[in-house]
Amino acid sequence: MNADSPNLPPPEGADVPPPPPAPAELTPSPEAAHPDVAAPGAAPETPAPPPAMTVKACAEELRARFPALFGGEPKPLKLRIQVDINERAPGVFPKAVLSAFFRRYTLSDAYLKAVSTGSHRFDLDGLPAGELSEEHRRIALETLLRRREQRRGPQHPPRDGQATPTGADAEAPARRKAQREAQREAQREQVRAKHREAQRAERQFRAGLLRAFETTTLTRENFCALKGIAPEALDGLLETARAERAQRQAFLAELAKAYRDSGLSINEFAASKNMHPGQMHHLLREAQGGGDKRPAPRMERSERPPRRDDGPAPTRGERMRGPRR
């Protein structure tokens, strides 16, 4: 048979050789057919670690957890506030990130201004937690004045023929400017003090309104007419008063628990909170009335505030006879 003869099919029953195997690169591997199946011996993928908390994220988390302190304008912070944060939110804020946040927060102009014009420090619930010392206010004011001078830059040199001020003459303008600034700050502080006093009076009015509403036998319309408020405004005032009462009770309960756990005297515990012993005793008495079962501590003679009169205490006979005429 020559090469020009056509390819005829093999006769029936003839041995036919098996077809050649497919090339290796055309045969899919089990791994290629099933990409979700890892190859034997391959190391499993480890999940990426969560990103570390940044200072910005720390600030947002503090505003979300403690809006009464970090939600609005800066307020002077209670001393050792980081300890309170770690107790209320354990393991949430890394120590280094929290320290970096407070360095940035307490060195800002807004915070220094709040310290220079404030009178009290505040805790995580936005409640007063000790008075600001005069030294801290003075340091904050001096820092603000120094920054303003630095932002102004160097003064222009005197013109030809103009004498350069020296000594007391050179310090007089800066001193007068500092005095004017201190006067303006004092005026602004008076305005803020009046605003705080108005807010305190409003809270007292709402608290008295809630107590009267819970014990009254009048109808809603008569009660509103007696208190001089609109009936549609009553629900909002009562809701705000209930929230303020719950916040106050939580603060007093936490204060009473801290006092019980401290084992300190009134004087020592008040000093740790930067409070007067008389103020601390009043708060613990209020906490006892609010549900604290532990009797309020009796003040020792050395812890009691001084009497208004320096004279000796009246004897039993003088008390029986009454005042002399």
Half-sphere exposure of 219 (CA within 13 A, CB side): 2
Residue 8's pLDDT band (cuts 50, 70, 90)? very low
* 145 shares its domain with 60: yes
pLDDT at 98 over 90: yes
Report the distance separating Cα 254 and Cα 87, nearest Å.
12
Contacts made by residues 249-253, CB under 8 angstroms, sequence distance 24+: 249/290, 249/291, 250/125, 251/123, 251/125, 251/127, 252/283, 252/286, 252/287, 252/290, 252/292, 253/287, 253/290, 253/291, 253/292
The per-residue pLDDT for 24 is 46
Last residue of a domain, one of 97, 131, 152: 152
Give the mean model confidence (pLDDT) for residues 91-117. 93
* 142 shares its domain with 223: no
Last residue of a domain, one of 135, 152, 169: 152
CA neighbor of 306 nearest in space, from 275, 267, 274, 278? 278
* Domain span at 142: 55-152
* 218 shares its domain with 130: no
Where do the H-state alpha helices sit in 30-106?
30-33, 55-65, 67-70, 81-88, 95-106
Give the mean model confidence (pLDDT) for residues 281-306. 62
Give the mean model confidence (pLDDT) for residues 97-116. 93
Please tell me the least confidently modeled range out of 167-171, 176-180, 194-198.
167-171
Last residue of a domain, one of 122, 152, 182: 152
pLDDT at 76 over 90: yes
Report the distance separating Cα 101 and Cα 98, nearest Å.
5
The number of distinct structural domains making up the chain is: 2
Please tell me the least confidently modeled range out of 101-105, 112-116, 297-301.
297-301
Give the mean model confidence (pLDDT) for residues 241-257. 91
Report the distance separating Cα 192 and Cα 197, nearest Å.
9
Give the mean model confidence (pLDDT) for residues 39-47. 56
What pLDDT digit, counting tens, does each position of 190-236 carry?
Answer: 888 888 888 889 999 999 999 999 999 999 999 999 988 898 999 99
pLDDT at 96 over 80: yes
- Does some domain include residue 258? yes
Which amino acid is it at 171? E
CATH number of the domain enclosing 70: 1.10.1710.10
152 burial level (CB within 10 Å; 0-12, 13-18, 19+): exposed
* 146 shares its domain with 69: yes
- Does some domain include residue 210? yes
- Does some domain include residue 114? yes
pLDDT at 11 over 60: no
Give the mean model confidence (pLDDT) for residues 48-72. 87
* 211 shares its domain with 273: yes
